[in-house]
Amino acid sequence: MPRTRRVVVVLAVLITVIFFWATLTGYGSTMLIAGTMALLTAAIEELVRVALQYCERMA
């Protein structure tokens, strides 16, 4: 579980950094949406992979 928690923390930090960077540089919504969608996709893939591994262990 510590590894999963570390992945979630890293993704949260990356999302926060992208939000601040886009706001400060004035790139605005396009950069924000693109970055957020990419990170959310990566997070969802990681969560699905972890869930599948957990189910395999429980079976």
Q: What is the pLDDT of residue 35?
A: 76
Query: Three-state DSSP class for 1?
Result: coil
Q: pLDDT of the chain along its 59 residues, tens only? A: 567 777 778 877 887 787 777 777 776 667 677 777 888 888 888 888 888 888 888 87
Distance CA 18, CA 35 (A): 7
Whether the CB-CB separation of 22 and 28 falls below 8 Å is answered with yes
Q: In the numeric block, which tokens belong to residue 30?
A: 């396009």
Q: What is the pLDDT of residue 9?
A: 80
How do the domains of the chain map onto residue ranges? 2-58
In 3D, which of 33, 39, 31, 32 has the Cα closest to residue 8?
39
